[in-house]
Copies of this chain bind each other. A is one copy, B any other.
Amino acid sequence: MSKTNPGNFFEDFHVGQVIEHATPRTVTEGDRAAYGSLYPTRFAVPSSAAFAASVGLELHPVEELIGFHIAFGKTVPDVSLNAIANLGYAECRFHRPVVPGDTLSTRSEVIGLKQNSNGKSGVVYVRSTATNQRGEVAIDWARWVMVHKRVSTGSTTEGTAAPETVIPELATAVDAKNLIVPEGLDFSSYDFTAAGEPHRLADYEVGEKIDHVDGVTLTTSEHQQATRLWQNTAKVHFNVEARPDGRNLVYGGHIISLARALSFNGLANAQLIAAINAGAHTSPAFAGDTVYAWSEVLDRVDTDAPGVGALRLRLVATKGRDESMTLRGEDGKYAPGVLLDLDYWALIPA
């Protein structure tokens, strides 16, 4: 019997199944530096321990997306090694800041299954939970992916019956009242000059769009290093022989981090990601593409924490700059050039 991991196929999942993912990983100050070399991030909280302490965070958090990518990467070998497409995210919440020294482990539960009508693949819904070394929840989220059936690989000719279809109810967005503000966070003495922009919650109007202006041209080494850092093993990112076109596909999470970093220019005070409501990778990206970003304000609310508000934002990454900031064409489809459509909540001084 082979000792290597072939990944799970659609037939291997059943609703209620719990998967403990390998391997736990400790976050370090090295990850903060690596992240800073790969993404043009300047948000003051993860950039400066002194700034973080000044807003009540005695331990210096790393970017929320470092925790997310690590936690997510753990699920790849078990959930999406044989995926055809990553279809969506929902209900992702950041329960507490991840700080250097934290060790993250991820566990997933299968919460839904739907075989495709072609009999060759199906959609798997999982809820994943990342915990730290004290067993506290750091991040949880739901995700659904389209996965091959084993029969489609030619390794068997025997089709299997479709499982009962179960489609979980997932919220369109995390309700504002369920947002978690890190313990101790206090923006009442926030230093806007140090943070880089004067804009606070009330300065953003629902419906407002912000062109983040700057672009970054993707390189192979950089997207590979980033993806590898999260122990993401999907071979399409690292092996030019794994795709017919001989190109390395850029990990979707790389685009999320890049767009988030670019959004500093106009959203410098959207310091912390509290939740991800939804996300779609609408087009593949490759080395050589120049990525830009724009944002749309979807909602704004206060929280119970002192001086802390929350903005709901749509973050859109595009290949090439689109100053018109068009999400969809008249046909309702994503406009050409749109790479990412991410809906999230950020914490910002009220």
Q: Which residues of A contact B (CB under 8 A)?
A: 2-5, 20, 22-26, 28-34, 36-44, 47-51, 60, 77, 100-101, 103, 105, 133, 193-197, 199, 203, 210-217, 219-222, 224-226, 228-229, 231, 233, 235, 238-242, 248, 265-268, 290, 320-321
Q: Which of B29, B214, B290, B321 contacts A30 (CB 8 A)?
A: B29
Q: Which residue on chain B has the smallest CB distance to residue A101?
A: B49
B23 in contact with A195 (CB, 8 Å): yes
Q: What is the bound-complex CA distance between A108 and B40, given in angstroms? A: 22
Q: What is the bound-complex CA distance between A33 and B28, given in angstroms? A: 7
Integer count of this chain's copies in the complex: 3
Q: What is the bound-complex CA distance between A32 and B33, given in angstroms? A: 9
Chain B residues lying within 8 Å of A240, measured Cβ to Cβ, are 217, 290
B38 in contact with A225 (CB, 8 Å): yes
Chain B residues lying within 8 Å of A229, measured Cβ to Cβ, are 33, 36-37
Q: What is the bound-complex CA distance between A66 and B170, given in angstroms? A: 45
B265 in contact with A217 (CB, 8 Å): no
B31 in contact with A34 (CB, 8 Å): no
Secondary structure of the A contact surface, majority rule: mixed
Q: How far, in Å, is A172 (CB) from chain B's closest CB?
A: 27
Chain B residues lying within 8 Å of A43, measured Cβ to Cβ, are 23
Q: How far, in Å, is A242 (CB) from chain B's closest CB?
A: 7
Q: Which of B33, B48, B203, B221 contacts A222 (CB 8 A)?
A: B221
B24 in contact with A194 (CB, 8 Å): yes
Chain B residues lying within 8 Å of A199, measured Cβ to Cβ, are 3
Q: Which of B203, B217, B239 contacts A239 (CB 8 A)?
A: B217
Chain B residues lying within 8 Å of A40, measured Cβ to Cβ, are 228, 231, 233, 238
B105 in contact with A194 (CB, 8 Å): yes
Q: Which of B103, B194, B238 contacts A48 (CB 8 A)?
A: B103
Q: What is the bound-complex CA distance between A242 and B199, given in angstroms? A: 27
Q: Which of B4, B44, B211, B216 contacts A212 (CB 8 A)?
A: B4
Q: What is the bound-complex CA distance between A32 and B30, given in angstroms? A: 7
A30 in contact with B34 (CB, 8 Å): yes
Q: How far, in Å, is A102 (CB) from chain B's closest CB?
A: 9
Given contacts A47-B23, A196-B22, contact A33 B36 (CB under 8 A): no
17 contacts between A and B (CB under 8 A): A22-B197, A23-B194, A23-B196, A24-B44, A24-B50, A26-B47, A30-B33, A36-B228, A36-B231, A38-B225, A40-B228, A216-B238, A217-B240, A217-B241, A219-B220, A221-B221, A241-B290
Chain B residues lying within 8 Å of A268, measured Cβ to Cβ, are 22-23
Chain B residues lying within 8 Å of A267, measured Cβ to Cβ, are 3
B233 in contact with A214 (CB, 8 Å): yes
A210 in contact with B3 (CB, 8 Å): yes
Given contacts A20-B193, A49-B103, contact A238 B224 (CB under 8 A): no
Chain B residues lying within 8 Å of A22, measured Cβ to Cβ, are 42, 44, 193-197, 268
Q: How far, in Å, is A209 (CB) from chain B's closest CB?
A: 10
Chain B residues lying within 8 Å of A197, measured Cβ to Cβ, are 3, 5, 22
Q: What is the bound-complex CA distance between A32 and B44, given in angstroms? A: 21
Q: How far, in Å, is A73 (CB) from chain B's closest CB?
A: 9
Q: What is the bound-complex CA distance between A225 and B35, given in angstroms? A: 10
